[in-house]
Amino acid sequence: MQTLIARATPTGVYVVTVKAGDKINGMTAAWVTQVSFKPALVGVAIAPQRHTYSLIKEAGTFCLNALPEGTIELAKHFGFKSGRKVDKFEGIPFTYAQNGSPVLKDAYAYLECKVENEFEAGDHIFFVGSIIDAAELNKDANPLIFKWNDFFGKN
């Protein structure tokens, strides 16, 4: 069933970043969506055992970094290890958004968000964030797409 659901609902690939106090972290996420035009709201589903989850709860902010095609290794870098154990940003070029969250230089766009609400959604928490700043960093980029059968793929 999970394979069918994932194949029927293709999504982009994002790195959700956050800064809480002096700690920064990021995690790869595919369960991201726009939820409202007015006000501009987006949502992301994060499992509560993730380090990023606890930092978002503490900070009340996060940043969605949209990854372009050709960044599969970057997506894997942020997806296959915990920020509790390693500094995921070591050697990764980034700047900071206004809210302090990291913005990856290799992202084609970012959405800086303030948490407005959260909902329990099965084994995940769905954070709803209002967009407080956004920028397109590479207008010519195509999004990296999450595909269940090969992890990441092209459109």
Q: What is the 3-state secondary structure (H, E, C) of 24-51?
A: EEEEEECCEEEEECCCCEEEEEECCCCH
For the chain, domains (ranges, CATH) are 2-153 (2.30.110.10)
Please provide the distance, in angstroms rounded to a whole number, between the alpha carbons at the two ends of the chain: 22
Annotate 78-99 with b (16+ C-beta within 10 A) or e (fewer). Answer: bbeeebeeeebbeebebeebeb
The 3-state DSSP class for residue 2 equals: helix
Q: What is the per-residue pLDDT for 115?
A: 99
Q: What is the per-residue pLDDT for 153?
A: 53
pLDDT truncated to tens, each residue of the chain (155 aa)? 777 777 777 789 999 999 999 999 999 999 999 999 999 999 999 999 999 999 999 999 999 999 999 999 999 999 988 888 889 999 999 999 999 999 999 999 999 999 999 999 999 999 999 999 999 999 999 999 987 665 555 54
Q: What is the per-residue pLDDT for 97?
A: 95
Q: What is the per-residue pLDDT for 152?
A: 56
Q: What is the per-residue pLDDT for 85?
A: 85
Beta strands across the sheet bearing 151-153: 11-12, 145-147, 151-153
d(CA 124, CA 30): 13
